[in-house]
């Protein structure tokens, strides 16, 4: 199956990256350009308040909001990690050289005994080195941890781990044994923690050694900055979206990397020149007349990510509802009726729904508690097969997931760690017409979507231009904030763009039409 990474950077406000397999969207990432990003950044923060009642501390990071550090995210050795001049001498493990040799990626550093309180670990006015694990949401500040984690291409450096291990997602026993042998030969510095990532599968000793040296050099730089900088201050900043995707997402099974920017294509090639020289030729500059996401039929699939109901090929569907406490996903049979018993019908639809549920969870980056309600099945063998297929489908998810066995009622409960900013929180807002019972797309998203449609229309050979019919608020944003963008599009295409205000339209009904000739328009199909 053809696997392609599409990188779209034509919009000045946002970078968007899609991973498609046989033209089916599998992963989608976005990042607002110019917007502050904090996840995975490392700070030297100053404790401004300690709250024993909630076993947590609040730290000034030198940013807009104070960070939240819970006692469960405070490692016992956080005070010693950056003591002394030699960055390669963290506190010794209590179990001797490299501690326990348990090979699990989910291991953590030594946490405090349960009977101790936050007061025994953190004090007001103290400088603490922390990493952001979750960005600000609403009025809540970023979530912090003293368990530092620095990803490389094939390894992850975790100084608080005090041992090295192999990712749980590498389940081939022969490959695990080989990697254990390679790591033993590399002999990482005593007390330094490393995890071999899934990207390290089949990599040579030379590849892993190169990544190890890179991470150790980076750790020395971080260590030096911590000792020479007063808090609150930024110590280490996570890479931009393109670099992170190349580091975390690119694997040898990717057939092509298509980029609509010459400079970013060179950036991708330079990255592969270091980490995967044989793959440099996979990077290509996209020269199509249509925007790259339209050319590969991805734009409509992205719009579908906002839909509550997702149809299945069989005629069934899955329905996704998000609440404050959890996410509920319901599988419906719809009009699908298989000849024979209801049990066979339920099993067929559930097996089809498994792959789509795993894909939607990954695409939408759904996190927290997720309840998957499948169609009831009486056959124990069918329940086990659906659960086995569900676990297998989750293997492609880089986020940590923990599913529980399917219940007698056909429910699979699971938890998932959110990795990226949630699309619904970013691009949707409470509806002003129904008292917040529903949601609508934000003006920011609508303006960006209309501009993408304009680029698509201007790339159509028969079109003489584009006409945007918009509600008042959206039209004003286009006239005021996007005047230069529209002028540049007209200049590049040699075609006219008209913005027509229709005060009777709702914001979500704004749309683009192609001007085929004077006075004649062809509407572009739109999603509400």
Q: What is the pLDDT of residues 423-433, one digit of tens each?
A: 666 677 767 66
Percent of the chain scoring above 90 in pLDDT: 37
Contact between 71 and 121 (Cβ < 8 Å):
yes
Cβ-based neighbour number of residue 425 at 10 Å:
13
Percent of the chain scoring above 70 in pLDDT: 85
Confidence label for 340 from pLDDT (cuts 50, 70 and 90): low
Measured distance CA(157)–CA(166) in Å, rounded: 12
pLDDT, position 252: 81
Select from 37, 71, 4, 8 the least CA-distant residue to 452. 8
Beta carbons within 8 Å of 516's beta carbon, 6+ residues apart: 462, 463, 464, 522
Beta carbons within 8 Å of 436's beta carbon, 6+ residues apart: 430
Pairing relation of β-strands 164-166 and 194-196?
Answer: parallel
The yes-or-no verdict on residue 106 having pLDDT over 90 is: no
Confidence label for 422 from pLDDT (cuts 50, 70 and 90): low
119 SS3 class? helix
pLDDT, position 424: 65
Ranges assigned E (strand) in 479-526:
496-501, 511-517, 520-523
The yes-or-no verdict on residue 402 having pLDDT over 60 is: yes
* Percent helix, strand and coil across the chain, each to the nearest 5: 35, 25, 40
The yes-or-no verdict on residue 339 having pLDDT over 60 is: no
What is the residue-wise DSSP string for 426-480?
Answer: HHEEE-TTTTTSSEEE-HHHHHHHHHHHHHHHHTSTT-SEEEEEE-HHHHHHHHH
Contact between 412 and 387 (Cβ < 8 Å):
yes
Select from 52, 63, 191, 69 the least CA-distant residue to 128. 69
Beta carbons within 8 Å of 254's beta carbon, 6+ residues apart: 3, 4, 5, 279, 282
Measured distance CA(381)–CA(109) in Å, rounded: 40
Quick: pLDDT tens for 14-73: 889 999 998 899 999 888 776 667 888 999 999 999 998 888 999 999 888 899 999 888
Quick: pLDDT tens for 472-527: 889 998 988 899 999 999 998 899 999 999 888 877 788 888 776 554 455 444 44
Beta carbons within 8 Å of 151's beta carbon, 6+ residues apart: 40, 157, 197, 247, 248
């Amino acid at each position: 199956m053809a696997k392609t990474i599409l990188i779209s950077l034509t919009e000045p406000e946002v970078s968007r990256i899609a991973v498609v397999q046989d033209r089916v969207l599998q992963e989608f990432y976005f990042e607002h350009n110019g917007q502050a990003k904090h996840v995975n950044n490392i700070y030297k923060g100053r404790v401004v308040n300690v709250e024993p009642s909630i076993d947590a501390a609040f730290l000034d990071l030198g940013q807009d909001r104070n960070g939240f550090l819970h006692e469960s995210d405070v490692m016992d050795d956080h005070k010693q990690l950056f003591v002394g001049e030699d960055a390669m001498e963290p506190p010794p493990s209590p179990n001797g050289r490299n501690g326990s040799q348990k090979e699990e990626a989910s291991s953590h550093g030594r946490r405090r005994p349960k009977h101790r309180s936050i007061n025994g670990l953190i004090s007001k006015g103290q400088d603490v080195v922390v990493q952001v694990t979750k960005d600000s949401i609403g009025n809540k500040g970023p979530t912090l941890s003293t368990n530092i984690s620095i990803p490389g291409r094939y390894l992850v450096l975790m100084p608080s781990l005090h041992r090295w291990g192999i990712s749980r997602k590498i389940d081939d026993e022969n490959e695990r044994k080989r990697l254990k042998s390679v790591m033993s030969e590399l002999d990482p510095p005593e007390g330094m923690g490393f995890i071999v990532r899934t990207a390290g599968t089949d990599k040579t000793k030379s590849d892993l050694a190169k990544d190890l040296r890179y991470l150790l050099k980076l750790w020395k730089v971080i260590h030096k900055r911590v000792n020479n900088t007063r808090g609150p201050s930024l110590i280490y900043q996570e890479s931009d979206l393109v670099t992170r995707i190349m580091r975390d997402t690119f694997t040898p099974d990717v057939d092509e990397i298509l980029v609509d920017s010459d400079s970013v294509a060179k950036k991708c090639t330079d990255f592969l020149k270091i980490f995967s020289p044989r793959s440099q030729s996979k990077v290509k500059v996209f020269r199509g007349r249509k925007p790259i996401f339209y050319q590969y039929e991805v734009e409509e699939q992205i719009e579908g990510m906002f839909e509550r109901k997702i149809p299945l090929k069989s005629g069934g569907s899955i329905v996704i509802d998000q609440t404050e406490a959890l996410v509920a996903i319901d599988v419906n049979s719809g009009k699908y009726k298989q000849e024979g018993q209801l049990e066979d019908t339920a099993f067929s639809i559930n097996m089809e729904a498994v792959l789509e549920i795993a894909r939607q969870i990954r695409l939408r980056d759904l996190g927290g508690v997720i309840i998957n309600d499948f169609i009831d099945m009486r056959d124990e063998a069918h329940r086990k097969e659906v659960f086995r297929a569900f676990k297998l489908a989750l293997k492609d998810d880089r986020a940590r997931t923990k599913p529980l066995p399917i219940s007698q009622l056909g429910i699979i409960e699971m938890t998932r760690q959110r990795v990226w900013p949630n699309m619904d929180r970013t691009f949707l807002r409470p509806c002003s017409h129904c008292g917040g019972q529903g949601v609508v797309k934000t003006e920011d998203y609508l303006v960006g979507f209309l501009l993408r449609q304009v680029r698509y229309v201007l790339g159509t050979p028969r079109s003489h231009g584009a006409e945007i019919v918009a509600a008042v608020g959206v039209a004003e944003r286009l006239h005021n904030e996007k005047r230069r963008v529209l002028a540049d599009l007209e200049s590049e295409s040699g075609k006219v763009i008209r913005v027509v205000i229709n005060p009777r339209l709702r914001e979500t009904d704004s749309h683009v039409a192609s001007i085929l000739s004077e006075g004649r328009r062809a509407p572009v199909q739109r999603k509400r």
